[in-house]
Structure 1
Amino acid sequence: MAVKYNWATIGTGVIGHQLAEALQKQGGNLYSVANRTYEKGVAFAKEYGIEKVYKEIDEVFTDPNVDVIYISTPHNTHIQYLRKALKAGKHVLCEKSITLNSDELDEAIALAEDNHVVLAEAMTLFHMPLYKKLHEIVASGRLGPLRLIQMNFGSYKDYNMKNRFFSRELAGGAMLDIGVYALSFVRFFMSSTPTHIQTQVKFAPTGVDEMASLLLQNKEEEMATVILSLHAKQPKRGTIAFDQGYIEVYEYPRGEKAVITYTNDGHQEVIEAGDTNDALVYEVQDMEKAIDEGYDMHLDYTRDVMKIMTYAREEWHMKYPEEEA
Structure 2
Amino acid sequence: MRENLNWAVLGTGVIANEMAQALQKMGKSLYAVGNRTHQKAVDFAEKYGVGKVYDQIDDMFEDEDVDIIYITSPHNTHYTFMKKALQYGKHLLVEKSITLNSRELDQMIALAQEKNLILAEAMTIWHMPIYKKLWNIVKEGALGKVQIITMNFGSFKEYDMKNRFFNLNLAGGAMLDIGVYALSIVRSFMDETPTNILSQWKPSPTGSDEQATVLLQNSQGQMATVALSMHSKQPKRAMISCEKGYIEIMEYPRADKAVIVDAETGERTEITEGETGNALYYEMLDMERAVRSGNANGMHLEYTKDVMDIMTKLRKDWGMKYPEENWD
TM-score of the pair, normalised by structure 1 = 0.98
- Please list, as runs of the form range in 1=range in 2, the aligned pairs for 1:1-325 lying within 5 A after superposition: 4-293=4-293, 294-296=295-297, 297-323=299-325
CA-CA distance at 1:158 after TM superposition: 1.4
For 2:221 and 2:76, locate their aligned partners in 1 and report how far apart those are by CA, in whole Å.
34
Task: Please state how far the C-alpha of 1:239 moved relative to its aligned partner.
Answer: 0.2
153-162 or 79-88, which deviates more: 153-162
In the aligned structure 2, how far is the partner of 1:84 from the partner of 1:260?
45
Matched residue type, 1:146: V
Q: Supply the distance in 1 between the matched residues of 2:123 and 2:198 (Cα, whole angstroms).
A: 24
Give the 3-state SS of the residue equivalent to 1:152 in structure 2. Answer: strand
Equivalents in 1 of 2:18, 2:324: separation in Å?
29
Paired residue secondary structure (1:155): strand
Cα offsets for 1:152-178 (capped at 9, x unmatched) = 000111111121110110000000000
Q: Structure 1: which amino acid aligns with 2:64?
A: P
Runs of 4+ in 1 over 3 A off after TM superposition: none
- The answer to whether the Cα contact below 8 Å between 2:166 and 2:206 also exists between their aligned partners in 1 is yes
The 8 Å contact of residues 239 and 246 in structure 2, kept in 1 or not, is answered as yes
Equivalent-residue separation in structure 1 for 2:162 and 2:71 (angstroms): 23
Structure 1: which amino acid aligns with 2:282? Y
Q: Is the 8 A contact 2:148 2:241 kept in 1?
A: yes
**1:322 offset after TM fit, Å?**
2.2
* Whole-Å separation in 1 of the counterparts to 2:303 and 2:278: 22
Provide Cα deviations, 1:250-308, integer angstroms capped at 9, x if missing partner.
11000000000001111111100000000000000000111122141100000000000
Q: Matched residues, percent identical? A: 58
**Do 1:148 and 1:240's aligned partners in 2 also have CA atoms closer than 8 Å?**
yes
How far the C-alpha of 1:90 sits from its partner, in A, is: 0.3
Q: Give 1:324 shift.
A: 5.6
Alpha-carbon contact 2:198-2:216 (below 8 Å) kept: yes
Are the counterparts in 2 of residues 256 and 273 from structure 1 also a CA contact under 8 Å?
Answer: yes
CA contact (8 A) 1:4 1:288 kept: no
Asked whether the 8 Å contact 2:9–2:32 carries over to 1, the reply is: yes
> What amino acid maps onto 1:318 in structure 2?
M
Provide the TM-score with structure 2 as the length reference. Answer: 0.97
Q: Give the counterpart letter for 1:208 in structure 2.
A: S
Contact 2:118 2:296 in 1 (8 A): no
Contact 1:168 1:321 in 2 (8 A): yes
Secondary structure of the residue aligned to 1:192 is coil
CA distance in 2, matches of 1:317, 1:234: 26
Q: Unaligned 5+ residue runs, structure 1? A: none
Structure 1 residue 67, shift from structure 2 partner? 0.1
> What letter is aligned with 1:235?
P
Letter in 1 for 2:211: M
Secondary structure, aligned partner of 2:43: helix
- Give me the whole-angstrom Cα distance separating, in 1, the residues matched to 2:326 and 2:254: 35
For residues 145 and 179 of structure 2, what CA distance do their matches in structure 1 show? 25
Distance between the aligned counterparts of 2:169 and 2:137, measured in 1? 42
- Give, as a single letter, the amino acid of the residue that structure 2 aligns with 1:85: A
Supply the RMSD in Å over aligned alpha carbons.
1.0
